[in-house]
Chain A
Amino acid sequence: MLLPRFEFHEPASIDEACEIMATYGPKAKVLAGGTDLMVNMKKKILAPENIVCLSKLDPMHSIEDKGDQIVIGGRYTVAELTVDALVEKKIGALRSGARALGSPLVRNRATIGGNIGSARPAADLPPSLIAYGATVTLQSSKGKRDVLLGEFFKGPGFTEMRPEEILTTITVPVPSDGEGAGYINLGVRKAQDCNVVNVASFIALDAADGSIKDARIVLGSVGPTPLRASSAEDVLKGEKPDEALFRKAGEAARQDCTPIDDFRGLASYRKAMVGVLTKRTLDIAFAQATA
């Protein structure tokens, strides 16, 4: 399969990259791991005139422990997320998402920035990041801005990003005591799969009486973007956590999604699985919150 022809740019700094994006805007695409863009180009879905390769932007290949936050550079790879001790210890649901993604070969190239930027509804990293309350920093030649990840996605392949912007970092608040999160994905086979449903749940327990003071449940693959299961969250808030409650939340979550029938599965099955995975991820989040 041949790739289309393009102009290749390899900026040496983020500023240089932003300049190039400012010049070419919608006629340019950034390239990091290439696990999404290269496939789209080979399948003739995309043929950008300019490719802006981020390989030399070392500052974007980073992870920083800032105490109550972890700041991850957009070029940090999915493989690195799976083995990073900080990620495992503090934001384990992200690690679950990273481990579920693709294959070991793909993970060695795929980046957190790319998995967010490609905005596929079934992507493995956004649900847990949204559940943690992550924000992304978008940089252009005009400056930087932060966007809550929960407000970042607009549709399949569409985000808040402007054509001249680059996603440079992801800032993830670290759960404190009494807080926890979990992520589960479901597909057809056990590796290299596109999710049929994936769910991340975050809960925060009231220190005084152990009731749920906050909950964020994020559903993937069942709408044009990752969706918040707000009726499920309402079921949980203020209540004491137990099996029955989590099941009830799972059933409520089914109403919060708008899956379609497609060649990967029927909407009815997806809705049912939203219920099951919501309940199961709440179990994980609760176990972490009470650990």
Chain B
Amino acid sequence: MKKLIQLTVNDREVEIAVEPNMTLTDLIRYEIGLTGTKKGCETGDCGACTVLLNGLPVNSCLVLAVQANGCTVETIEGLETEDGLHPVQDAFVEHGAIQCGFCSPGMILSAKHLLDKNPNPDESEIRAGIAGNLCRCTGYQKIIDAIKSV
């Protein structure tokens, strides 16, 4: 039986009835229609589904939608402002930190969280901070360069 949940997604209130066995990823992608959050493995190993849940980056594929009741969720779509790209997004574009782009939404959110907590991370802190986000295209070098530049 569906449960009614309320959550804030990118500063907008959402109220929706969901099956208990729906993941947060599927809620975001298919029910709310924000497809920026990606599905790479669905078992918490790649980080493509990363969202900020109550401000913390998590694998949304390991969270039930019902567990997000009463929470705030920030997805990649929430970063852009009327003034343009968020500085982290801009840095990723400028430094060539995006190739196929499939890991990028998750990677950018992890990077944003890292920088919000620690505005001047050194290289080892950056690498540790994004260790849960797999990228098969870039070798991480330009991602690190981008994060350092912000």
Contacts and interface: CB of A to CB of B under 8 A. Distances in A.
Direct contact of A and B (CB under 8 A): yes
Interface of A: 1-8, 10, 31, 33-35, 38-39, 42-43, 51, 53, 55, 79, 102-106, 108-109, 190-192
B20 A192 contact: no
A95 to B, nearest CB: 14
A8 B67 CA distance: 10
B56 A79 contact: yes
Contact of A39 (B50, B56, B62): B62
Interface in B39-76: 42-45, 47, 50, 53, 56-59, 61-64, 66-67
Interface string B106-143: 00001000000000000000001111110000000000
B132 A38 contact: no
Nearest to B55: A108
Interface of A is mostly: loop
Contact of A6 (B21, B43, B58, B131): B21
Contacts of A7: 20
A186 B63 CA distance: 28
Given A7-B20, A104-B129, A191-B131, A1 B62 contact: no
A190 B128 CA distance: 10
B44 A39 contact: yes
Given A1-B43, A108-B56, A103 B62 contact: no
7 nearest interchain CB pairs?
Answer: A103-B132, A8-B20, A105-B132, A191-B131, A3-B21, A108-B56, A38-B62
Contacts of A34: 62-64, 67
Interface string B5-32: 0000000000000011111000000000
Contacts of B57: 104-105, 108
B66 A53 contact: yes
A12 to B, nearest CB: 13
A141 B131 CA distance: 41
Given A42-B43, A105-B110, 4 more contacts: A31-B67, A38-B64, A51-B20, A55-B67
A222 B63 CA distance: 31
Interface of B: 3, 19-23, 42-45, 47, 50, 53, 56-59, 61-64, 66-67, 110, 128-133
Nearest to A83: B117
Q: Which of A2, A4, A8, A105 has the most CB of B within 10 A?
A: A105
A105 B67 contact: no
Contacts of B22: 3
A162 B57 CA distance: 34
A43 B45 CA distance: 13
Contacts of B58: 105, 108-109
A33 B62 CA distance: 8
Nearest to B134: A192
Contacts of B66: 8, 10, 53
A79 B129 CA distance: 12
Nearest to A107: B132
A192 B45 contact: yes
A105 B43 contact: no
